[in-house]
């Protein structure tokens, strides 16, 4: 018996060849008897009759599965947009690394057939909620699936921060930046900055300094109930980014607050999925 009734298709449509693969996917789902919604920007690149375009709000309300074809960035966008809807996501890797989009493009249809038949492994991933405060007002509030990054500008010098965990002063930092990452984001920018690889089942929030002035400033993992506040003491052309996008300027006196969002993102993996195999393949581990 089929485990899902309505599937949404979300694709990184700008890449060459992707439209043909998306059309193949839509036909496959339709032939399986599913009702199909296609994310509206994805729909624009496809010549579809009888398959409706849908924004993320409609997908969240009507779909019981979202299939994302692209790279990790495409899945990050979908995860943030569908946060709170409870719609699980399946990732088909059309990018390069693909830590979260774990189904290979060549295996797309047989792997999805198994998922649609109920043969899958669910996994809940952490989301961050972040806010930037300035002069007593909130500049922005948003979600992040990978990380929140406070970073110096191209021409700017180091940023100076004070970091507080649950209201208690933790440390002062002069660095090129500070990454606050989920376990999912531990294999992204945090990894390239010397942070630890943290299994997605670990409940925690990872703080990774970027090129700190003092080598004793090391990565730190705090509990998933923690509230981290970053007070900006000095910043020239600094910015804060949420999953690499949606940047805002960072000024002296700004306060960045980050904590774990109460809702999780549910990913569905094929039964043969292995997190450690993914690490071996993507990071070139041998043995």
Buried b (16+ CB within 10 A) or exposed e, 108-119: beebbeebbeee
Q: What tokens were used for 236?
A: 């020239």
Q: Are 218 and 224 in contact (CB under 8 A)?
A: no
Coil, helix or strand for 36? strand
Q: Are 128 and 80 in contact (CB under 8 A)?
A: no
Could you confirm whether 64 is annotated as catalytic? no
- Site of tokens 């970027």: 210
Q: What tokens were used for 169?
A: 């002063």
* Beta bridge mates, 269: 121
Pairwise CA distance, residues 243 & 6, whole Å: 28
Catalytic residue among 72, 102, 147, 243: 72
- Kindly list the catalytic residues: 72
């Amino acid at each position: 018996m089929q485990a899902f009734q309505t599937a949404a298709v979300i694709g990184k449509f700008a890449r060459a060849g992707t439209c043909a693969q998306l059309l193949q996917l839509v036909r496959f789902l339709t032939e399986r008897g599913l009702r199909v919604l296609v994310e509206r920007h994805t729909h624009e690149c496809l010549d579809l009759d009888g398959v409706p375009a849908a924004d993320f709000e409609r997908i969240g309300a009507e779909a019981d599965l979202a299939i994302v074809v692209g790279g990790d960035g495409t899945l990050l966008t979908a995860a943030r947009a569908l946060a709170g809807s409870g719609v699980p996501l399946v990732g088909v890797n059309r990018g390069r690394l693909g830590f979260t989009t774990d189904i290979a493009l060549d295996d797309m249809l047989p792997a999805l057939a198994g998922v649609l038949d109920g043969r899958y492994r669910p996994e809940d991933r952490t989301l961050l909620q972040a806010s930037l405060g300035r002069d007593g007002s909130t500049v922005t509030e948003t979600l992040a699936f990978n990380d929140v990054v406070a970073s110096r500008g191209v021409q700017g010098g180091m940023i100076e921060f004070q970091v507080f965990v649950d209201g208690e002063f933790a440390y002062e930092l002069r660095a090129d930046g500070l990454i606050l990452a989920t376990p999912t984001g531990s294999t992204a920018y945090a990894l390239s900055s010397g942070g630890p690889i943290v299994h997605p089942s670990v409940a925690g929030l990872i703080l990774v300094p970027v090129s700190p002035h003092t080598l004793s400033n090391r990565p730190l993992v705090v509990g998933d109930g923690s509230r981290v506040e970053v007070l900006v003491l000095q910043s020239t052309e600094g910015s804060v980014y949420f999953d690499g996008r949606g940047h805002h300027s960072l000024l002296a006196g700004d306060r960045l607050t980050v904590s774990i969002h109460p809702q999780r993102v549910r990913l569905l993996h094929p039964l043969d999925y292995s997190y450690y195999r993914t690490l071996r393949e993507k990071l070139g581990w041998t043995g």
